[in-house]
Amino acid sequence: MTATTEAPAATAPAPEIGRDRRRKEDQRLITGRTRWTDNITLPGMVHMAMVRSPFAHAEIARIETSAAASAPNVIGVFTGADFGDELGVCINAWPLTPEQVTPNHSPMPADRVSFAGEIVAVVVARTAAEARDAAELVDVEYVELPAALDLKEAAEDTVLAHPDAGTNKSALWVFDSAESGTGGNVEEAIEKARTDGIVIEREYRQQRLIPAFMEPRSVVVDPTGEQLTMWSATQIPHILRFALAATTGVPESKIRVIAPDVGGGFGGKLQATPEEWITWAVARRVNKPVKYTETRSESLLSAHHGRDQWQKLTLGATQDGTVTGFKVDLLADLGAYVAIVGGGVPVLGAFMFNAIYKFPAYRFSCQTVLTNKAWTDAYRGAGRPEATYAVERMMDELAAEVGVDPLEIREKNWIKHEEFPFTTVAGLTYDSGNYEAATAKAKEMFGYDALRAEQKKRRDAGDPVQLGIGISTFTEMCGLAPSRVLGSLDYGAGGWEHASVRMLATGKVEVVTGASPHGQGHETAFSQIVADRLGVPFEDVEILHGDTQVSHKGLDTYGSRSLTVGGEALVRAADKVIERAKPIAAHLLEANVDDVEFSAGTFSVKGTDQGKTIQDVALATFAAHDYPEGIEPNIDAESTYDPVNFSFPHGTHLCAMEVDTETGRTTMRKYVACDDVGTIINPLIVSGQVHGGLVQGIAQALWEEAVYDDSGTLVSGSFVDYLLPTAADTISFDIDHTTSPSTTNSLGTKGVGEAGTIASTPAVVNAIVDAVRHLGVSDITMPCTPERVWKAINTSSSTGGPTEGAAMPHFDADESGTSSTEGAGA
Ligand code: MCN
């Protein structure tokens, strides 16, 4: 069944890596002709609707379900009391300290609700509409309790979010470069700067945001049959299976979790949700498949939120603007519960406040705080946008103080390209980078000098519309993550990724990845990698993912990890296939294995024109008629790759904003992003990721904010009030790249999934402040609405922001559960 083919002609097929391939999955995703969770219908399936608390904090005195139970086609009405332990608990997989205060998180509490939107009862009915109608008939009597809403006040324990916890302070986590041996003493550096240098002190607000994915969350559970199957619009099918097994006692082997096509997540679907837990328990109780799909309003109200921090920053520098120390004190709002990785999100930023700079001393402390608002957790960038915002805003403040161009201050302090690899004051080793190259290219694309000249002209003329230039020379740590580093940070899981590559009899290639895409285009980019490695046509590679029965091992998609970790696992598995195929090819070619080499999909005998393609070997393996003695007929292979380091993409983003000083209206004039994400697999996908990321970061700067009123009601509970931008609200971005390949993975890639979001927020706010700095403005609270910009210009408040409580309370390392770390040590 095999034929000897001629060795390939000298011209190899065009390389796939670096090629602008349109995404193969888009055909089905864009037309909707695919399996979204809500499209799934099973025989006998029933539907569920939730009854949610309108109060932020209340005791549940009584729940009257009889009217709902007798509504048409209602199958059952359940409350937390109907289940008890059967419901399981929502897990926190990243306790920051051993002493962390972690309130018990029942998916459906029976006695007390802790945020507006929490589920108190569910109705199961024949159709979703009938379930929703009947849910209206559930009568809940609440006894309202005082709610802890303001972050600073909550940190003072004036009102308790969970009275039985005795405090709202969940965990205090500290990193000090003097203690970890990665740098000097920050207090001494700042004291010295107070005497003979410059000290800049600022307090910034990271407003609460809501990850607004395109597809609301949806879950179907089928309890019939041998296995329990859950379909969920999730980013983390593997972690979900583990969490279900760990909290319900059902063996993992009996649980199948499927993430079918998932319409976006942005971190918001990196969660084991009450909705999933309840659907699971209810399906088992009624012994029928149950579906629950949230409405958009429910999504905004109760899917986890992101950011929500106060940042108190102190930077010391010499008179010429060389930074000598940076001290960061955070208050981070966890909301009502410590979510799956919620407590750890600020700590992901802890290693990034020094960004691309050579700060000699650094101290970070973060107090996480419980409040009666929706719980917070990862949102695109998770900790790194907050850190980048703080440091990039502070570098602008320093430049203003010294009286030089903000780019000059950055250049003075950044790591020079010849200094890589560089171990930072936070203990991370950046493998590669070239800030000079990215900045030079961005400046040229931007027309930096011309825009500065125009800015001066407008300023001199007193133009009512002023021009500002904002800079963000960001870096971030992604490719989460080396398992040993995660272990040192008390994170509950590892950071490896798994892949298998199977050669099918027809010569097609079936690839299974443990990454779980939800909009990132893995099927295309991963096909390109495998096609190049095995020398097979791109079209012949099929990528399977997101089903724990198909992809039995994996750690899913978040932290811009899928390419650097999952892609490397693919490469290693493909290389193993080639190694396994080589002796078979040698046998078929009647050659010594040492004389056989592999190139562009063909095994050939050195010095001859005889060869066997990898497809020939696959077919020979399938038939196994003519196989070497003692070798099993199988050339498939798998690999589990644990990264040796994070990946550190960086870039220079430049933004020009026009500010109408009479109305406060801001208009984006130009945005340039020059990113370095190492080797690029698919430039088209990378551009898409950067575009989407930019808009999300710009939205934080200008529009988006989750706002609660004084009683704890989410007033930005629909897209009328939560200002999610559309394409029409943005301009056309100018993006390009420089390339300094990563030295820690064989492809040289760095992550891109969060880069745009991390970089863009400070670029925009820096531009707005730059436009009106000469009018006495040094800060504007985000989102920089026209009203806030106008107020900052026209009142004594330099921020234009709301007065949100007093100065930030200070928490000393000794006061409560302190943990310091030796640094991430990657
Ligand atoms: N890529 C590439 N070359 C590089 C880097 C990446 O071609 N040098 C490609 C990758 O092959 C992949 C994509 O770009 O197809 C993103 O890769 P990576 O940076 O590894 O990020 P992940 O795939 O792990 O995706 C996670 C990241 C995160 S953390 C969030 S949040 C986010 C994001 O991706 N959420 C998204 N992008 C999103 N895009 C969409 N459409 N929807 C979301 O919810």
What does the mean pLDDT of the chain come to? 95
**Cα of 752 from ligand 1 centre, angstroms:** 6
CB 390, CB 353: distance < 8 Å: yes
3-state secondary structure of 427: coil
User: Using a 6 Å cutoff on CB, does residue 556 contact ligand 1?
Assistant: no
Taking the C-alpha atoms of residue 548 and residue 242, their distance in angstroms, rounded to an integer, is: 10
3-state secondary structure of 666: strand
pLDDT band of residue 263 (cuts 50, 70, 90) is very high
User: Using a 6 Å cutoff on CB, does residue 379 contact ligand 1?
Assistant: no
Q: Longest Cα pair distance anywhere in the chain, in angstroms? A: 87
- Find the mean pLDDT for residues 104-131: 98
* In the predicted structure, residue 552 carries a pLDDT above the cut 70: yes
User: Using a 6 Å cutoff on CB, does residue 29 contact ligand 1?
Assistant: no
Q: Token pair of 520, please?
A: 């990132």
User: Using a 6 Å cutoff on CB, does residue 681 contact ligand 1?
Assistant: yes
**End-to-end Cα separation, the chain, in angstroms:** 51
pLDDT band of residue 811 (cuts 50, 70, 90) is low
pLDDT band of residue 10 (cuts 50, 70, 90) is very low
* In the predicted structure, residue 191 carries a pLDDT above the cut 60: yes
Calculate what percentage of the chain has a pLDDT beyond 90: 92
User: Using a 6 Å cutoff on CB, does residue 480 contact ligand 1?
Assistant: no
Pick from 471, 328, 400: which is nearest to 778 by CA? 400
CB 442, CB 734: distance < 8 Å: no
- For atom 34 of ligand 1, the residue with the nearest CA is 753
Residue 602, H or E segment = strand 602-605
What pLDDT does 349 receive?
96
pLDDT band of residue 286 (cuts 50, 70, 90) is very high
Tell me the pairing of strands 169-176 and 818-820.
parallel
Q: Which residue blocks in 304-447 are alpha helix, DSSP H?
A: 345-350, 384-402, 406-413, 435-446
pLDDT band of residue 826 (cuts 50, 70, 90) is very low
Measured in degrees and rounded to the nearest 5, phi and psi for residue 358 equal -95, 65
Cβ neighbors of 826 (< 8 A, separation 6 or more) are 427, 428, 429, 481, 482, 485, 644, 645, 646
Q: What residue has token string 């400046």?
A: 443
* In the predicted structure, residue 674 carries a pLDDT above the cut 70: yes
What pLDDT does 807 receive?
66
What pLDDT does 611 receive?
96
Measured in degrees and rounded to the nearest 5, phi and psi for residue 200 equal -115, 125
- To test ligand 1's pocket by mutation, which of 432, 689, 750, 758 has the most ligand atoms within 8 angstroms of CB? 689
- 623 bridge partner residues: none
Min mean pLDDT across 5-9, 412-416, 572-576 is at 5-9
Residue 397 burial by CB count (10 A; 0-12/13-18/19+): exposed, middle or buried?
buried
Pick from 415, 434, 429: which is nearest to 739 by CA? 434
Instruction: Find the length of the chain.
Output: 826
- Find the mean pLDDT for residues 415-421: 98
User: Using a 6 Å cutoff on CB, does residue 235 contact ligand 1?
Assistant: no
What pLDDT does 249 receive?
87
CA 675, chain centre distance (Å):
18
CA atoms within 13 A on the CB side of 723: 16
pLDDT band of residue 799 (cuts 50, 70, 90) is confident
How does DSSP classify residue 660?
Answer: E
User: Using a 6 Å cutoff on CB, does residue 754 contact ligand 1?
Assistant: yes
CB 577, CB 534: distance < 8 Å: yes
* In the predicted structure, residue 261 carries a pLDDT above the cut 50: yes
Cβ neighbors of 17 (< 8 A, separation 6 or more) are 528, 529, 532, 679, 681, 747
What pLDDT does 802 receive?
60
User: Using a 6 Å cutoff on CB, does residue 559 contact ligand 1?
Assistant: yes
- Find the mean pLDDT for residues 239-257: 94
* In the predicted structure, residue 494 carries a pLDDT above the cut 90: yes
Min mean pLDDT across 272-276, 356-360, 715-719, 815-819 is at 815-819
- For atom 37 of ligand 1, the residue with the nearest CA is 753
Q: Token pair of 824, please?
A: 């991430």
- To test ligand 1's pocket by mutation, which of 538, 563, 565, 749 has the most ligand atoms within 8 angstroms of CB? 563
What is the identity of the amino acid at 342? G
Helices 448-461/435-446 angle, 10° precision: 60
3-state secondary structure of 64: strand
User: Using a 6 Å cutoff on CB, does residue 306 contact ligand 1?
Assistant: no
CA atoms within 13 A on the CB side of 573: 29
CB 138, CB 121: distance < 8 Å: yes
Pick from 213, 218, 209, 235: which is nearest to 374 by CA? 209
Pick from 273, 267, 403: which is nearest to 348 by CA? 267
Tell me the pairing of strands 46-52 and 290-293.
parallel
What pLDDT does 664 receive?
97
- Using CA atoms in the order 556, 695, 678, 481, what is the torsion angle rounded to 10 degrees? -30
CB 138, CB 65: distance < 8 Å: yes
Q: Token pair of 599, please?
A: 């190139």
* In the predicted structure, residue 1 carries a pLDDT above the cut 50: no
- To test ligand 1's pocket by mutation, which of 752, 754, 757 has the most ligand atoms within 8 angstroms of CB? 752
Asked if the bond preceding 289 is cis, omega within 30° of 0, the reply is no
Tell me the pairing of strands 666-676 and 541-544.
unpaired
Taking the C-alpha atoms of residue 545 and residue 551, their distance in angstroms, rounded to an integer, is: 6
pLDDT band of residue 84 (cuts 50, 70, 90) is confident
Taking the C-alpha atoms of residue 667 and residue 731, their distance in angstroms, rounded to an integer, is: 10
Q: What residue has token string 């969660």?
A: 271
CA atoms within 13 A on the CB side of 466: 24
**Cα of 35 from ligand 1 centre, angstroms:** 21
Q: Token pair of 513, please?
A: 């990845």
User: Using a 6 Å cutoff on CB, does residue 52 contact ligand 1?
Assistant: no
Taking the C-alpha atoms of residue 311 and residue 370, their distance in angstroms, rounded to an integer, is: 17
Pick from 355, 621, 397, 411: which is nearest to 509 by CA? 621
Taking the C-alpha atoms of residue 765 and residue 752, their distance in angstroms, rounded to an integer, is: 22
pLDDT band of residue 796 (cuts 50, 70, 90) is low
Mind listing the pLDDT tens digit for each residue in 622-639?
Answer: 999 999 999 999 999 999
**Cα of 557 from ligand 1 centre, angstroms:** 8
Q: Please provide the DSSP assignment of 732-772 as one string.
A: --EEEE-----SSSTT-B---TTHHHHHHHHHHHHHHHHHH
What pLDDT does 813 receive?
52
Q: Please provide the DSSP assignment of 217-274 as one string.
A: PEEEEE--SSSEEEEE--S-HHHHHHHHHHHH---GGGEEEE--S----TTTTSS--H
Taking the C-alpha atoms of residue 151 and residue 299, their distance in angstroms, rounded to an integer, is: 22
Mind listing the pLDDT tens digit for each residue in 318-350?
Answer: 999 999 999 999 999 999 999 999 999 999 999
User: Using a 6 Å cutoff on CB, does residue 755 contact ligand 1?
Assistant: no
3-state secondary structure of 109: coil
Taking the C-alpha atoms of residue 462 and residue 45, their distance in angstroms, rounded to an integer, is: 68
Taking the C-alpha atoms of residue 649 and residue 678, their distance in angstroms, rounded to an integer, is: 7
User: Using a 6 Å cutoff on CB, does residue 520 contact ligand 1?
Assistant: yes
Give the per-residue SS3 of 237-249: HHHHHHHHHHHHC
Calculate what percentage of the chain has a pLDDT beyond 70: 95
**CB environment 489-502: b (16+ within 10 A), e (fewer):** bbbbbebbbbbbbb
Taking the C-alpha atoms of residue 300 and residue 594, their distance in angstroms, rounded to an integer, is: 61
